[in-house]
Structure 1
Amino acid sequence: MSNSEVESPWYAEFPEPKATATTITRITLLSWMTEGKLAGKDFVLVDLRKADYEGGTIRGSINLPAQSLYPTIPSLYNLFSSAGIPTVIWYCGSSGGRATRAASWFADYIKHQNDVKMESDILEGGIKGWAKAGPEYVGLMNAYNPSSWQ
């Protein structure tokens, strides 16, 4: 590729999201997890990292790299809806790019389905914020590697 050619971002082939997804704070998610709400039953956590998937993940998360997410949204919605999942929480490294886009695409789809029972949320601060927030957060991570967060 020459210097004059610019590679399009991974999401360029997909439509811009119309909805603005809401944000859930780490404090709220921590309280859900410590008060007995279960990932996979009461909410779904989606880790969107691919190449930067390292250092651990929040317990109960599923890994769906953002680059392959858009075409799977209808199937994901059907699975989550059939299971009665009320909240889908999306995160990536900082939740500023991939998570915002994915949560908004999913919110668009929820709205398109006229579903008022499910919501699509962005985890404030992403996995970086979670891993650096203290021992109560790190204690709820699988495969935590402290050197990845320094």
Structure 2
Amino acid sequence: MASIANLQRITAKDLSELILAEAGSQDPSYAIVDVRDDDHIGGHIKGSINIPSRTLEAMIPTLLRKLESKQTVVFHCALSQQRGPSAALRYLRETEVSRPGVPPSSSETEVEAAAEGAIEKAKQEGQTVYVLDQGFVGWQELYGEDDRLTSGYRKELWKNGYWG
């Protein structure tokens, strides 16, 4: 059964290689969704979309349309322990629930089954959904000062390893 615990993870190294391989592409095959809220200050992965977790519910229909052609979708927050994985799971569930035949008012059991089906459907259709391992905290430790991969980085905000 689909849950936060069994979502696929991608390392910062693997994501950086994907970004660099498609550098300059007008329509990259991937999308990065940063669900940090106020802690978005101090830098972000180049090309990422910031959808604060508090607005995710309202933005899901837009994300579904915007990301439907992407082969890879990566969600993250600061540590990718709660908000990032929750957003990825919500996205996966909505890809299935929003399809005809699965009413929005489905029971929790039906939604869990739909989420499991969504993961399989996404794999079959070529879209893979990941959570960035260690979130932006891990990312900035490796690539914060690499302007090919990170935008708006402010080292002084990350001097202790975590924004704040």
CA distance in 1, matches of 2:57, 2:76: 15
State whether residues 39 and 45 of structure 1, in contact with CA within 8 Å, keep that contact through their aligned partners in structure 2: no
TM-score, scaled relative to structure 2: 0.70
Regions of 4+ moved over 6 Å: none
TM-score, scaled relative to structure 1: 0.76
- SS of the residue corresponding to residue 90 of structure 1 reads strand
| Residue number in structure 1 paired with 2:141 | 132
1:147 correspondence with 2:156: yes
| Residue number in structure 2 paired with 1:26 | 12
Q: Which one-letter code corresponds to 1:120 in the other structure?
A: V
| Residue number in structure 1 paired with 2:29 | 42
1:95 correspondence with 2:104: no
Q: CA deviation at 1:148?
A: 1.2
| Residue number in structure 2 paired with 1:6 | none
Residue 44 to residue 135, structure 1, CA distance change in 2 (3 Å): closer
- SS of the residue corresponding to residue 70 of structure 2 reads coil
CA distance in 1, matches of 2:96, 2:146: 32
Unaligned runs of 5+ in 1: 1-16
State whether residues 40 and 60 of structure 1, in contact with CA within 8 Å, keep that contact through their aligned partners in structure 2: no
CA distance in 1, matches of 2:73, 2:134: 16
1:110 correspondence with 2:74: no
CA distance in 1, matches of 2:139, 2:153: 11
State whether residues 22 and 28 of structure 2, in contact with CA within 8 Å, keep that contact through their aligned partners in structure 1: no
CA distance in 2, matches of 1:149, 1:28: 22
Q: Which one-letter code corresponds to 2:157 in the other structure?
A: S
Q: CA deviation at 1:79?
A: 2.0
Percent identical pairs in the alignment equals 26
Corresponding pairs, count: 132
1:119 correspondence with 2:128: yes
| Residue number in structure 2 paired with 1:54 | 41
Residue 137 to residue 95, structure 1, CA distance change in 2 (3 Å): farther
